[in-house]
Structure 1
């Protein structure tokens, strides 16, 4: 897959100044897997100083391959690198007294803590919200859990573990996804994690704004299943207003037509032209000039009632053309989009121009890898991909020095196991 040209790429890592609207925000990141790291990366992309605190073995996703073939270091593969860029890493053993002391010192000087452990884990380590906010009253503490935290509302499933597919199932999105008449289908990306991550980032910033006005922090409670339900809002009003239980409807809209996918010579495309003006223009462009006068297709209501026949009429034309030909014919005139795979995405001029395909250095190799860029574009305080995800514990000394620990104290902590097991060197035999 080709990398963007040099004149199209983001600034080289290490040469980009610390910028962004959140450059005065310090976040202690106690997250792992996908939901928590994605949330804190959103903050880091906009300039926040995100300190990723990892156990001695590191976030388990560091080991989720594949690694690049020539990566001798194998500090992390794509999964970890994709959601932990722009962060600094410190290793601390929260089971050790010195490790907890260091973590508490970091939190005392922070604006935000984000964690996505199961309920009760932080309490067992003596790091509950109540303990931390007693030390730092302005602290914003965000937790992403499968079914939320009791502080935001008690759930009968509050202690249950959850992953992406569980949230998709519980929250209702699987029940309306899949081929018409077929079984419920999981959405490809991990939306059960990523959507809660986005809500968490929004909640954190709302709470930080309040804390800076009042000096009072608060608990930000994000439930994965609640977040998925929130983006499935239409099923609630469909059930409440019309008494229906929506089912999978394939790639078409539940009450508008044409609105969905259509075949092409080399794949699929999407077309939306449900109102009279757009529909008339679409028919002109596809040389279907008599179709708008057909009583079956003359109003938006009748177009939906006869959507199967309408889809067949439009498909008979689109399947004879390539995606590129249809883009030239329809693009910019009616809502149109080719169904891209990633090999097409990385070459499309839109994503290159918008810096949505970003080259990033990969530790352990002399190569760069491509990551998805930053979709939130701020004109005065732009975010940036400033550096790759960190090697485990890469910034431990740096962060502890900033927190006021002396070099001697840091070394004593190291020898006590605060950063993980101490490896003792043995003398070679004569």
Structure 2
């Protein structure tokens, strides 16, 4: 039975996503896994992209005519082969590689029914609607998991499925503030420019996507043993609090309330930025031996013998006296000179790179962290490689992030064995 054409609409000619080459066609670690991605923006799509990179068939359901919110979050926009702006913002391309896009209207009963049928074929459903936001469509976890006990259903929300804040919408910036990250990010009180500061990327969303992926893989392992799926309840706030790491341990165990310290570290000294003759550099000294070697390179070996600075605990206690001394020393050489001298003595240090400098770095180039994938409008589109290096089942780069709805007919044929009303497949 062909689906009602009112329930879906493709904004692109229907065409399959083809593997880029023979290596890309090799099965990934998650080959054969079917993921229905109902999420949008970043946290859910990040998880979907990671599962797709590992070989899963990830089908992204988008609103006809609109698509994922991030398609409109520009500029900048992807440019076509003639240099003209397309309708897709650069933001969209960071989290939707290796997926197939279907355009289906969940508000249309026929569209919701079609997605329920796709869910019946899926191993995993990802969604980041508000709590009970999919209930009216019959796409909530209780309904789908009751009908399909092997289904793994991952819900990503701002505050989780329970608790007084559960009905609220949650965005990364909001959660960075509520979850404590901004209280420890930014210049210290009393310094020029002091005040809470968000991280320069939507880090809570990215971490939530990673936790979601881990949760899905754990649920798959459980299903392999038990035959049963389960519901994963993942909240941005929970992730942000968990990711405070040593800062929460400092508070819960030490009884202190962590404060903003700029680029300084609450537990390690020296572990921050320092001025040089032509800019800045980072010293990341993690033990007393490294500190002694730094002092020797700086021509001040007596600092390492001084009881005020000889141990990390002493350096933390005497931070206010030590840091100005170090700053007076580091301004005497250029960043490149310091890095060359300190690296030869195995003292951790490095520059503070702009993003363009990151992609020009020889290590980044050697690791192949930029990937370029064919795109029907732009010719090719650049992206960032997946950092997971698997020896037997490497990550594959099969396709660029899709145009809205380009794979609707193909997915209906693959997953449901159907053709669209116009006969395409």
Same fold (TM over 0.5): yes
Q: Which moved more, 1:391-400 or 1:180-189?
A: 180-189
User: Match of 2:268, SS?
Assistant: coil
User: Match of 2:77, SS?
Assistant: coil
Alignment of 1:361 with 2:374, yes or no, is yes
CA contact (8 A) 1:105 1:403 kept: no
Q: Give the superposition deviation at 1:328.
A: 1.6
Q: Deviations over 1:232-286 (max 9, x none)?
A: 1333332232221111011111122111111223432221224221111111122
Match of 2:20 among 14, 19, 24: 14
Distance of aligned partners of 1:394 and 1:239 in 2 relative to their CA distance in 1, 3 Å threshold: same
Aligned equivalents of 2:358 and 2:27: distance in 1? 28
User: Match of 1:189, SS?
Assistant: coil
Alignment of 1:262-273 (within 5 A): 262-273=274-285
Q: Which moved more, 1:130-139 or 1:112-121?
A: 130-139
Q: What is the TM-score when the length of structure 1 is the normalising length?
A: 0.87
Aligned to 1:426: none
Alignment of 1:311 with 2:323, yes or no, is yes
Match of 2:395 among 359, 383, 387: 383
Distance of aligned partners of 1:326 and 1:28 in 2 relative to their CA distance in 1, 3 Å threshold: same
Q: Which moved more, 1:53-62 or 1:232-241?
A: 232-241
Aligned to 2:338: 326
Alignment of 1:67 with 2:67, yes or no, is no
User: Match of 1:313, SS?
Assistant: helix
CA contact (8 A) 1:166 1:192 kept: no
Distance of aligned partners of 1:360 and 1:412 in 2 relative to their CA distance in 1, 3 Å threshold: closer
Aligned to 1:44: 52
Distance of aligned partners of 1:107 and 1:18 in 2 relative to their CA distance in 1, 3 Å threshold: farther
CA contact (8 A) 2:19 2:25 kept: no
CA contact (8 A) 2:78 2:85 kept: no
Aligned to 2:358: 345
Point out where structure 1 has 5 or more consecutive residues left out of the alignment.
1-11, 415-430
Aligned to 1:419: none
Q: Give the superposition deviation at 1:73.
A: 7.1
Aligned to 1:374: 386
Aligned to 2:149: 137
Alignment of 1:278-293 (within 5 A): 278-293=290-305
Q: Which moved more, 1:209-218 or 1:297-306?
A: 297-306
Aligned equivalents of 1:309 and 1:361: distance in 2? 56
Q: Which moved more, 1:348-357 or 1:199-208?
A: 348-357
Q: Deviations over 1:190-210 (max 9, x none)?
A: 012111111111101101111
Distance of aligned partners of 1:13 and 1:26 in 2 relative to their CA distance in 1, 3 Å threshold: closer
Aligned equivalents of 1:67 and 1:24: distance in 2? 33
Distance of aligned partners of 1:404 and 1:240 in 2 relative to their CA distance in 1, 3 Å threshold: closer
Match of 1:188 among 190, 200, 203: 200
Q: Give the superposition deviation at 1:123.
A: 0.5
Distance of aligned partners of 1:63 and 1:13 in 2 relative to their CA distance in 1, 3 Å threshold: farther
Match of 2:97 among 85, 91, 100: 85
Aligned equivalents of 1:370 and 1:95: distance in 2? 34
Distance of aligned partners of 1:369 and 1:308 in 2 relative to their CA distance in 1, 3 Å threshold: farther
Q: Deviations over 1:368-414 (max 9, x none)?
A: 3432211111111111222110001111111101123433xx21799
Q: Give the superposition deviation at 1:71.
A: 5.0
Aligned to 2:6: none
Aligned to 1:178: 186
Aligned equivalents of 2:382 and 2:40: distance in 1? 22
Aligned to 2:10: none
User: Match of 1:132, SS?
Assistant: helix
User: Match of 1:157, SS?
Assistant: coil
Q: Give the superposition deviation at 1:305.
A: 1.8
Match of 1:23 among 17, 21, 31: 31
Aligned to 1:99: 111
CA RMSD of aligned residues (A): 2.0
